[in-house]
Amino acid sequence: MSARPALLQVARLSPECEARLADRYVVQRWMTPEERAVAPRSELELLVTTAPVGVDAMLMDRLPALKAIVCRGVGVDAIDLATARGRGIVVSTTPGVLDGCVADAALGALLAVARGLVTADRFVRRGDWSRGRFPAATRVHGKRLGIVGLGAIGRQIARRAVGFDLEVRYHNRRPTDVAWPYEPDLPALARWADFLVLSCSGGAATHHLIDARVLDALGPQGFLVNVARGSVVDEAALIGALASGRIAGAALDVYADEPRVPSALLALDNVVLLPHLASNSRETFAAMEQRVLDNVDSWFARGRLLTPVA
């Protein structure tokens, strides 16, 4: 009987997925920075990670035989793609299976912050209802929605927005073939929008794309929703805009230094704070991890990944 192939795992998966990997392969685990710091160089050719953990150049340097990286998630900003490409290492993610859940979360977050739903829950729990009505919030239907990043997730958000009678426009690096109007100027889109939803990729190209200038354009009646990456927003500028009332509110699922959330954000009532849960449904996680297994199986059976990053 031939030996089972071996792989390296550097990020925690579900117990079920880890058990299935261990049943098929010999799994070596370097699960913490401390373990990776003392681990010997390895000749393993495939590595499994997740989008938040990623793979940096230093780790790749300890893996001279590395040929493939299989990542659970769609974000690649924590993976040093330049180093991987320079060495001919192919990288796969799990696209297509989480778009709907992230779009659901974006619309849920938008509703929560505009209508004050989280604050209203606390209002009832404190017993404040018996002392007066909850303050009026902002209507959602019939308003204007600007989407920054009309990829697969952005399109799902736009389709859902139509059901709320929202008028949609979008900003991308370039226009795409869709029915919704394209706005090449990001501050102009923010100025037009009542709600600005971020669903773009992270990384150097979008670092602090949403800065004080864009927030000021969004204005005191506008709301920001971020289900993209924390790096896309200048967090200090956002805190200042929220605290001073230069924007009406924000709903955030991602942060610059997760899981640490600035105390200034925790103290504000006009922001809804979520723990990076947009893709976190049982169904979506199962589908993502099945895609991980499928990519690993395909590599060892055929020498290729099913969903490589372009």
CATH fold of 6-96+283-302: Rossmann fold (3.40.50)
Give the pLDDT confidence score for residue 219 in this predicted structure. 98
CATH fold of 99-273: Rossmann fold (3.40.50)
Is 82 in contact with 62 (CB distance < 8 Å)?
Answer: no
Q: Taking 50 as the threshold, does the pLDDT of residue 15 lie above it? A: yes
Q: Taking 90 as the threshold, does the pLDDT of residue 11 lie above it? A: yes
Give the pLDDT confidence score for residue 1 in this predicted structure. 46
Arithmetic mean of pLDDT, 216-245: 97
Do domains 6-96+283-302 and 99-273 share one topology? The answer is yes
Q: Is 22 helix (H, G, I), strand (E, B) or coil?
A: helix
Give tens-digit pLDDT for 106-146: 999 999 999 999 999 999 999 999 999 999 999 999 999 99
More confident residue, 77 or 17: 17
CA distance 283 to 302: 28
Q: How far is CA 292 from CA 9, 55, 197, 232, 288, in A?
A: 12, 16, 28, 27, 6
Arithmetic mean of pLDDT, 290-297: 98
Looking at 229, 235, 289, 291, which residue is catalytic? 229
Give the pLDDT confidence score for residue 77 in this predicted structure. 87
Give tens-digit pLDDT for 242-258: 999 999 999 999 999 99
Is 146 in contact with 169 (CB distance < 8 Å)?
Answer: yes
Q: How far does the chain reach from its first CA to its final CA, in angstroms?
A: 37
Active-site annotation holds for 258: yes
CA distance 128 to 113: 19
Q: Taking 70 as the threshold, does the pLDDT of residue 43 lie above it? A: yes
Q: Taking 50 as the threshold, does the pLDDT of residue 95 lie above it? A: yes
When the pLDDT of each residue in the chain is averaged and rounded to a whole number, the result is: 95
Active-site annotation holds for 229: yes
Give the pLDDT confidence score for residue 2 in this predicted structure. 57
Give the pLDDT confidence score for residue 113 in this predicted structure. 98
E strand or H helix that includes residue 12:
none
Domain ranges of the chain: 6-96+283-302, 99-273
Give tens-digit pLDDT for 50-88: 998 999 999 999 999 999 999 999 889 899 999 999 999
Looking at 122, 159, 213, 258, which residue is catalytic? 258
Q: Taking 90 as the threshold, does the pLDDT of residue 3 lie above it? A: no
Arithmetic mean of pLDDT, 216-221: 98
Please report the sign of the dihedral spanned by the C-alpha atoms of residue 107, residue 108, residue 113, residue 116.
positive
pLDDT band at 36 (very low <50, low <70, confident <90, very high): confident
Give tens-digit pLDDT for 175-213: 999 999 999 999 999 999 999 999 999 888 999 999 999
More confident residue, 280 or 105: 105
Number of neighbours of residue 173 by Cβ within 10 angstroms: 11
Nearest to 208 by CA among 180, 244, 237: 237
